[in-house]
Structures are given as C-alpha cells and as structure tokens.
Structure 1
Amino acid sequence: MEVTIFVIASLAAFVVNLSMAIFVYLKNRKVARNKLFSLLCMMIGTWCLYPTIMASNLDAHSMLFLIRIIYLFAIFCPSIYLHFILELLGEAKRKRHILFAGYLFSLTFAFLGFRDWFIAGITSSNVYKYSIVPGPLYTVYVSVFAAMIIYGFYVLLDKYRIWSGFKKNQCKYLFIGFLLAFTGGLMHFLSAYGIEEKIPHDIFLVMFTSITAYSIVKYRLMDIRI
C-alpha cells in the first residue's frame, strides 16, 4: 500500500471518530441521544476507511467485497444522524413517521448493498488506486441521503432561531460540525462520478469531530461536562 495524504487523513478520521464515539457513550450510556451520537460516529469512522481500502494491494474481488461492507455503514449514517438530531431537539416522538421512513430507506439499501444495481464494480483512479463504479440506484441513494441531511439542517436552524444562550450555541456548533461532515460526504460521492478530490474529504470529518469536541467543552453539548 502506498501511504498518501488520503490514506493518512482516512486513518486519522477513523481514529478520532471512533474515539469520540467511545467518549460520548461512556459519559452517559443510558441516554438515547448519547447512544445515537456514538453510533453515528462509529458509522462515520468506519466509512472513513474507504480511501485506505482503495489504496490497498487487495485483488479487485476482495476490494469490491470490502467496499460494499463499508457502504453498509454509510447507508445508515443519514437515518441515525436524523434520529440523533430529532432526539436532541425533543422532536423524535412527534416525528417518528419521518424516522420510520428514514430507517426503511437505510434497510432497503442495506439489502441492495451487495448488488450491482447499487455499486456496479470498481475502476482505476488517479486519486485512490481504485474508485467505485456507481450502479443505477447509487444516484437515488445519494439524493435521499442529501435530502435527509438537509432536513436535519432545517430542523436545527429552526431551533437555533428560537433558542438562546447555551442551547443556541450548541445548535450553532452542531450545525457547523455536520455541515463540514456533509461537505466531506459530498466530495466522496462526487468522486464516484469522476470529479476527483483535490484535498482528502476525510479532513472535513476530522474537523467535524474537532468542532463537536469544542462544543462539548465550551457549551456542554449533550449535557456532557468535562
């Protein structure tokens, strides 16, 4: 394996997100929002291993198999993200029909994850050693993924508008953090369509974790006290 800046960023994002997942879970493992955020960080961190796998010396068949497993984690990111946002804002019960639709989407694509309709194969890449070839349903997945993330942003901004003090600042930094994470995800998706990354998208996932850590220390996000 050639160790490039993309591989280094990939491994760094994996480590910091997994560390954040463990930290938040241990701070209060009985509260739903903490468990959801920990699960989300674990999913994101595992997804961040994509560039490392693509730069490996595995044969094409093994690489495709591992990438499809990695995408199982990516598939559940938007539904868990939205569940966390609604739980944190006290909207989860009132909007459970939206959560049901989100998890149904994730389960459907998890079922399709090992079929060529979703990821058709892999091809050579100038940035990574290989890149995925999107199947016909990949664009559907990306579109619904984006819609769920944007809806979460809308709910956050709505609460930001009416809240004040620490709660308002928590909303602000959570929005900034998730916006950075979404930017990284968008760069990843675009690379599947031949738009190559100029900088590693995983840098944005490290920034997401850093912003979250700052919000925890400064504004007691998720009622975590240091």
Structure 2
Amino acid sequence: MHISVYSIFPFLGSLLLLFLSIFVYFKQKSSSINRVFSRFLFFAFIWLFFYAGSYSVATPEQSLFLLRIGYSGVILFMSSVLHFTFSFLNLKSRLYKGILIFSYAISFIFVYFLYQTNYFISDLYEYFWGYYPKAGIIHPIFLVFVFSIVCSINFLFFINWLKIRKETSLYRYKSQYILLAFFIFSLGIIDFIPNYGIEIYPFGWVFTILFSFIIAYAILKYQLMDISVVIKKAFFYSVGIAIASGIVVSVSFLSSWLMENISGFRFWTIPLIAGIAAFVIGNLFWRKSKQVEKAYEVEKQAHKELKHLSEVKDQFILATQHHLRTPLTIMKGYLSVILEKHKESISKEVENYLTKTSDSTNRLIKLVNELLDVSQLEIGKKPLKIEPTNVRNIIDDTIKDIQPEIEKNNLVIKILPENIKEWPNIPADPEKLMVVFANLIDNAVKYSSQGEIIIQGKFIPSSIKGKTNSSFQISIKDQGIGINTDEIPTLFTNYFERGKQAQKLYTTGRGIGLFITASIIKAHNGRIWAESRGYNKGATFYVELPMGQN
C-alpha cells in the first residue's frame, strides 16, 4: 500500500471531524442538539477516512471494501443532518417524527443494497486519484433522496430565518450561521458526479468540513465562550487544508500531464511544490490562528470586566432605590399640602408654578419607579406577579386614559377583533403590561397627527425562540412619522436617541420608554420588534407573548 497524495487531505480532514465530534459531545452531553451534531460529524468522519484509504490501496477489491464502508457514512450522514435540523428547529410533531423515522429507514435500506447487492455500487472507475464507485441502478433513487433532504433543510432554515431575522437574540445569530453552512453543504453534491463516469476530483469533502465547522462555531460560540477559540482555530485550519489540498491536487494533475508530454520532467518536483505550498499556507493560517487566540484573550478579559461592572451597577441600583424615591415622595407630599391646604394664601401665578412642579415631580416619580422595576426584573430581585390577564382590557383602559390626546390629533383607533371574547387570557403581570401598552399606544398617538391606529391581536401557532407553547401577537400600526431604518436596531436599547422629527413633535419625551417596554416583554419570555419603511411612512410595533408558562 502506497500513500497517495490525494489521500492526505481527506484523511487529515476526517481526523479534524473526529476530534470535533468527540469534543462537542463531551462538552455538553445533555444537549440533544450537540448529540445529534456529534453523530453526523462521526458519519462524515467515516466517509472521509475510508474514502482517503481507498485512494491508496493497490487492488480494486481492497478499494471496493473501503469505499462501501465510506459510502455507508455518506448515506447515514444525510439522515443525521435532517435529524439535526429537526432538533435545532425544535420540530417535534408526529409529522416530523414520522419523516425522521422514514428517513432513517430508507437510509438503512440503501446500506443493505450497498453491502448485499451490486444495485447501489455496480463497479469501480479508475481515475487519476484512485478508484471510485460506479453508480448502480438504484443510485439515482439515492440522489433523489439526497436532493429532497438538502432542499427540505435549506427551505426549513430559510423560513425559520425569515421569522426571526428582526430579533437580536443568540438564536437568530446561530440560525444565520447555520443557514450559511447548509448553503455551503449543498455544494458537496459535486462528489456524486464521478459516480457517473465524469473524471472530476471529488473535493466535496472541503464543503463538508467547512459546513461542520461553521455549525460548530454557531452552536458553541453563542453558548460556551471559553471554547469558541478552539472552534475558530479549527475553522482556520480547515480552510487552510482546503486551499492547500486544492493547490496540491492541481499541481499533481499538472505534473502528471507534464510527465506524459514533456520528456525529462522529474516527478520529485511534485512533493517539492506541494511541500512549499503546504508550508506557506500552513504558516499563514497558523499565524492567523494565533491572532484569533490573542483576540480571544482580550475579549475574555473585557467580558470579565464588563460582568464586574454589571454587578456593580446592580448593587448601585438596589442601594440607591430608597435614596431616589424618598426625596421625590417628600417633595410630592409638601407640594400637595401647599396646593390643598394653603391654596387661598398664594397667588394664582405661584399656584400655577407649584402645579407645574407637582406634575413634573409625579412624572419623575413614575419614571424612577419604572426604571427601578425594570432593573430589579433584570437582576431577579423582583419577580413578576403572573396571573390570567386579558390584554384587550388593558388596551381599552390605556385608550381611555389618553382619549383627550386621541381627539386632539383627530385619530381613529380600530381594535381587531372587535369582540372582546376573541381576546384570550394569557399568563402575565397586568401592571407591567399596562406599562407596555401605555408606552406603545401613547407613542403611536403622540407621533401621529391624523389617520388611524389599528391594534390587532391574533394567535401564532409557531413557537417563540424554540419554545413549544403557542403565542398571542398584538400589533399596533400607525400612520405617523415612522422610523428611520437605521434607528430600528437600537430602538429598544437603553442608549437609543429619538430622531429629530420625534423631538420636534414631543420635546419632553425621555427616549427610554421602549427600553422599559422591551425589558418587561423579555421578562415575560416574549419578544418585541418594530417595522417601518422610513420617515413619514408610519410604523408597526409587534408584541408576542407566550400563551403558557415557559
């Protein structure tokens, strides 16, 4: 047995996949996603490892034996990738379970035909890189099976991405990486071309390695910060191997042609050129991996400092709770006494000033209470008071409170569905939801000078961030000044600044109401987002709340 140059890189790639399979499994064995991911990495290892061996054996019999083992990895790899997709997207209905069982059953039938008949692999082709399986009569059926799985997976992840693309959650970032990974994975079908007599080197394993490491990065980067550097380094190594292997294969193919057509050409130039290419590329990616590791250490230290600052902030908020509320309450009390008991002894001008001061104090007290409540929710010091709550009642109460402002702006408010019985009770804290819808509806009214505001509620059967519970969505659509698309990403953060048009319309706005609103929704395990086509084109705010406890 001689070691073929075409075996080296698939072999090294298989070892990388085996390492990653073991690493992911033992790092978080309790995660079903990690277990399924580890499983399809192992099947990919079987594929590459035995294919690499088949390129270096001397006889067709030995090659066929190794190729059959490798092809069993290919077959089972497809079903395990589908399994991973269902697991990641939390698709657990009977339909999806049935599809998964059917997929594995078909895979094992193909494995049976692979080992027991010549219907799957009928013979071998002898190409410049070694022996390769010749497609049997049922192999086209297997290609239909593969094509169906690849299309289904890409479709499911694309639909999932469309649903969550406006979120800022870790789940969205994982999904984006995995959508990219499956697109790259689809390019691996090039490996089936040589099965039909077309002599193209099967470098689809490059896409499989990239696919695997992108998914690993997505899973581990956003869950386990301490091992993300390992995945990053392995990713750079896999890219380096892919590039180096492409160069070596190209050089080897060119050298074979030169030996046949140019007399005096020496074969030893092949390993020389390959060695130089491997050294240059390996050195480049080694340096890049060291840069990644150094950047990771800086990131890790910054994370520690940020965590410490967050803890200090939480302690400060709790410590100042009493000191913030007490003086404001005292001011409010004195102002009330003066305005109620000594009203006759003060002039109208002074009374007007005191009334304005009292109103400002009340607004400030309300703001402080909201901020403190949100801060306590974030650090777990103030749990929600969950009870069955009808959102429609909260919306009706909010509209009554701001009815004068609605009439002043000549606005019409429509609530759909109109029948209150069609609005369900959901588990929530009614006081906190009152703050949420007071902020959202009040904003819609303040920043609209005419037209109508449509408030609509509807059931959403799909899950929220992987949760199995259904949810209820409330949308608030106005025809007001709209939102600049550049402002939407920071709309619900504590550093959002209102646009100039919003400041002109409402000069005393605080600009933090949406941050408070988003914090309350997050505490309810719900989600909130906004859509707008730009200034003067209106805006729609969406709130989704789970129908059951998560």
- Asked if these proteins are the same fold (TM beyond 0.5), I'd say yes
C-alpha deviation, 1:14, in angstroms = 0.3
Task: Provide the rounded CA distance (Å) in 1 between the counterparts of 2:154 and 2:148.
Answer: 10
Query: Contact 1:10 / 1:50 at 8 angstroms: preserved in 2?
Result: no
Aligned to 1:37: 37
Query: Contact 1:75 / 1:106 at 8 angstroms: preserved in 2?
Result: yes
User: How many residues are treated as equivalent by the alignment?
Assistant: 220
SS of 1:197's equivalent in the other structure is coil
Aligned to 1:202: 205
Deviation per CA, 1:15-59: give whole Å up to 9, x if none: 121111111101111222211100000101221135422321232
Deviation per CA, 1:149-207: give whole Å up to 9, x if none: 210111111111111222222112112223223312x1111121133335732222232
How much is the aligned-residue C-alpha RMSD, in angstroms? 1.9
Task: Provide the rounded CA distance (Å) in 2 between the counterparts of 1:167 and 1:195.
Answer: 42
Counterparts of residues 3-152 of structure 1 (less than 5 Å):
3-4=4-5, 6-94=6-94, 95-114=96-115, 115-126=117-128, 128-152=129-153
Query: Contact 1:13 / 1:205 at 8 angstroms: preserved in 2?
Result: no
Task: Provide the rounded CA distance (Å) in 2 between the counterparts of 1:84 and 1:214.
Answer: 15
Task: Provide the rounded CA distance (Å) in 1 between the counterparts of 2:83 and 2:178.
Answer: 14
Query: 2:184 matched to 1:180?
Result: yes
Task: Provide the rounded CA distance (Å) in 1 between the counterparts of 2:84 and 2:210.
Answer: 19
Query: Contact 1:2 / 1:56 at 8 angstroms: preserved in 2?
Result: yes
Query: 2:192 matched to 1:189?
Result: yes
Task: Provide the rounded CA distance (Å) in 1 between the counterparts of 2:199 and 2:145.
Answer: 22
Task: Provide the rounded CA distance (Å) in 1 between the counterparts of 2:97 and 2:202.
Answer: 38
SS of 1:157's equivalent in the other structure is helix
The one-letter amino acid paired with 1:134 is: A
C-alpha deviation, 1:217, in angstroms = 5.0
Query: Contact 1:118 / 1:135 at 8 angstroms: preserved in 2?
Result: yes
The structure where strand makes up a greater share of residues is 2
Unaligned runs of 5+ in 1: none
Query: Contact 2:178 / 2:215 at 8 angstroms: preserved in 1?
Result: yes
C-alpha deviation, 1:122, in angstroms = 0.9
Task: Provide the rounded CA distance (Å) in 2 between the counterparts of 1:178 and 1:24.
Answer: 19
Higher relative contact order (CA 8 A, sep 6+): 1
Counterparts of residues 213-224 of structure 1 (less than 5 Å):
213-218=216-221, 220=222, 223-224=223-224
TM-aligned CA distance change 1:160 to 1:77, over 3 Å: same
Task: Provide the rounded CA distance (Å) in 2 between the counterparts of 1:179 and 1:12.
Answer: 23
Compute the TM-score of the two structures, normalised by the length of structure 2: 0.38
Sequence identity (%): 22
Task: Provide the rounded CA distance (Å) in 1 between the counterparts of 2:137 and 2:114.
Answer: 12
Deviating beyond 6 angstroms after TM superposition, the runs of 4 or more aligned structure 1 residues are none
Unaligned runs of 5+ in 2: 227-550
When Rg is computed on C-alpha atoms for both structures, the one with the higher figure is: 2
C-alpha deviation, 1:3, in angstroms = 3.3
TM-aligned CA distance change 1:207 to 1:58, over 3 Å: same
C-alpha deviation, 1:214, in angstroms = 3.2
